Amino acid sequence: MATITGLTAARMLEIEAASVVDGDVVGDDLILTTKGGSQINAGDVRGPAGPQGPVGSALSVLTSKQILDVGLSGQIRAGRQLTATDFTNMGLAAPIGLWNLSNLNDSSGNGRNLSNKGAVPFTTGIEGVASSAARFAGLTTQALYIADTGASDPFRIKTGSVGCWFRMAKRGTNQTLISKRGLASGSWGWQLSVSTSNQAVFASGSIGTDYAYAFGLSDVCDGCWHFAVGVHDGNKMQLYVDGMLEGDVSVPGMIFGAAKPLNIGGFEADGSVASSESYFGLVDEAFITADLLSANQIRNLYCVKIPHTLSAVPKSVGLNIRRRKKGAALAPADFPTQPLRLHNFSAGSLSDEGSNGQVLVNNNGAISVPGVDGSLGNAFNFVSSSNQYLSATDAGLPVGLATRSIGCWFKVSPTFNGCFVAYGSGLATSDVRIDMFGTLRALNGGLVIVTPFPPDSEWHLVVLVQDNAAVDGLKSKLYLDGRLVGVDTTNLVSITSGGANKFRIGADIGGTSQLTGQIDAAFVCDYALDTMQIAALYAKGAQVLGLSPMPSVDHVEMMNGTDLFCVFDSIDTQDLIDLVVA
């Protein structure tokens, strides 16, 4: 738009008095038309044209952005730090309490701050940001709490909704996420928890003695982040897990108003009372609201928030997905620090990209085949009847009770089994190994973790993490495709170095249990990889398979003048997306 310059105050008043009804620019002059039809030359107009507006144009929001998993830095899969406006923008009241858990403060605006029992620390949360989630170690001496304030206590809700993000570290035991209930009959209020069957549970007592339970369906004790919300309307209870309804049950009446503290990480705990059903793992973005959240509102809270900078509500959203083949060669930079051993077998190489620098020996002619990334010669195929395996000394690998992480990509058919990776001096007494004999197994001397796994002739990533001083008490953890599938709390068995030829890929240290199958990207580290680091290794993708349009309505839940609210949990974590608004 042009700018008028050089007009006196008197001239402007004259123009105003003429009751101008129209105007046009002729040459460099502004010609105004009055109500009576006469024209006034308002003078020279100068100035550059303004910028073209974005209306109708496409604005790139994301380009080749990897989905990643919740908890990794830069993830766009699901989840965000919640604010009171996330509720009020949906026509709801501000929450009764909202805790982002980067500290003890209440983000609802109500000032209902938590007390910290047992020095609960803060760690990385759902957005991959340091010190943004509470970490519990399953101790009765730990909990975050707010003492009950009597009959008017705001958390003695009769109806309402409660929820949080959580990441479990222990399986097979009752653990409480957030609650307001007591241990004894007559003090049962409400509780959001996880059962011994590894499913989320929402429970409430109607008269303080009877409990109703809404059970989830998903296995949430897999080391990954999940979002659980319980809703109670006085007639029925519903449980949502990761934005989907999983439990729905009738209830006999309103929630009982238990005269007990509000707890995160257990129940009944305060400054002097121990926590019950103490929690092992992380909690983030906990909230309580008197509103009855709908399925769409819960899905919105589950969303990640992506700025679009359009300065207007978009008229349309376009989404393309760039699919990538799962799995890729692992570089030393993909690990927190360089592994001790890392064998990618690139182009059939037997070299070691780890700090030990140990070149493997090919025993009995194992041949190179396409690897997990599809590249020719980047993996080795083993035939048990030919006694084929790769070997090197195990010198320099973690021994005794030292912390370690061992893993590889593997592929086996339903009719063949064998050992993937092993080292040590004494078979079944002083060795550590991962193998498959009908089930996926991890062994450390006499300790065995077994998990069902049907061999399907597809590539999978297996990782065994062992830490005798693990904070959560889980000294052995077995991961498959980035998910926790087995744990053991037993003390590790001391490992003794076997020396020459006692690090093996494709057979155990006795030269038996030979594998019929394929191995790629085998590694050993002298530290404990955590769940998110393993998820990142699994999510590393290769070979972009092409661009494919996706219906944005399946992923964009809401949009406003500044942000898109999206969920990409149905897209594989190694894939890339392009997102545009117009």
Nearest partner of 451 among 424, 413, 423, 485, judged by Cα: 485
Which of 146, 80, 151 is CA-nearest to residue 111? 146
Place of tokens 């006694």: 387
Contact 218, 226 (CB under 8 A): yes
The predicted pLDDT at position 273 comes to 97
Model pLDDT, residue 28 = 66
Quick one: CA torsion of 31, 35, 38, 44, rounded to 10 degrees? -20
Cα(394)–Cα(355) distance, rounded to whole angstroms?
A: 13
pTM of the model: 0.80
CB 405 within 8 A of CB 463: yes
DSSP string, 407-428: EEEEE--TT--EEEEEEEEETT
Count, in order, helices (H) and strands (E) of the chain.
4, 41
Amino acid in position 393: T
Q: Are 284 and 101 in contact (CB under 8 A)?
A: yes
CA dihedral sign of residues 114, 115, 119, 120:
negative
CA distance 360 to 376: 19
Which whole-number Å values give the CA distances from 453 to 199, 246, 412, 439, in the listed order?
Answer: 20, 25, 11, 5
Residue 533: what are its φ and ψ, rounded to 5°? -65, -40
Place of tokens 């003492």: 147
User: DSSP characters for 280-325?
Assistant: EEEEEEEEEESS---HHHHHHHHSEEEE---SS--S-EEEEEEEEE
Q: Which helix (H) or strand (E) holds 16?
A: helix 9-17
SS3 10: helix
Q: Give the integer Cα–Cα distance in Å for 381 and 373.
A: 15
Non-local (6+) Cβ contacts of 497 within 8 A are 394, 395, 397, 399, 423, 424, 425
So what's the pLDDT on residue 306? 95
Write down how long the chain is: 582
Res 186: pLDDT: 87
Sorted by sequence, the CB contacts under 8 Å of residue 200 that are 6+ apart come out as 192, 193, 194, 215, 216, 218, 220, 226, 228, 239, 241, 246, 247
Q: Is the dihedral of CA 319, 325, 330, 335 positive or negative?
A: positive
pLDDT at 35: 61
Q: State the pLDDT at residue 415.
A: 77
Kindly report the backbone phi and psi dihedral angles of residue 252, in degrees, each rounded to the nearest multiple of 5, phi listed first: -80, -10
Please report, as a single letter, which amino acid is at residue 81.
Answer: Q
Residue 301, phi then psi, degrees to nearest 5:
-65, -25
Residues whose CB is less than 8 angstroms from the CB of residue 574 and which lie 6 or more positions away in sequence, other chains included: 66, 67, 324, 325, 326, 327, 538, 539, 540, 541
218, 195 contact by CB (below 8 A) = no
Query: Which tokens in the block code for residue 319?
Result: 């989404």
Enclosing H/E stretch for 203: strand 200-205
Residue 213, both tokens = 């339970």
Structure tokens at 196: 């011994």
The answer to whether the beta carbons of residues 275 and 287 sit under 8 Å apart is no
Tens-digit pLDDT string for the chain (582 aa): 344 445 565 555 555 555 555 666 676 676 766 666 677 676 665 555 544 444 456 788 999 898 889 998 999 999 999 999 999 999 999 999 999 999 999 999 999 999 999 999 999 999 999 999 999 999 999 999 999 999 999 999 999 999 999 998 788 899 999 999 999 888 999 999 999 999 999 999 887 777 899 999 999 998 899 999 999 999 999 999 999 999 999 998 999 999 999 999 999 999 999 999 999 999 999 999 999 999 999 999 999 999 998 888 998 899 999 888 788 899 999 999 999 999 999 999 999 999 999 999 999 999 999 999 888 999 999 999 999 999 999 999 999 999 999 999 999 988 778 999 999 998 877 889 988 888 899 988 767 888 888 788 899 999 999 999 987 778 999 999 988 888 888 889 899 999 999 999 999 998 888 999 999 999 999 999 998 899 899 988 776 777 788 888 889 999 999 999 999 999 988 889 999 998
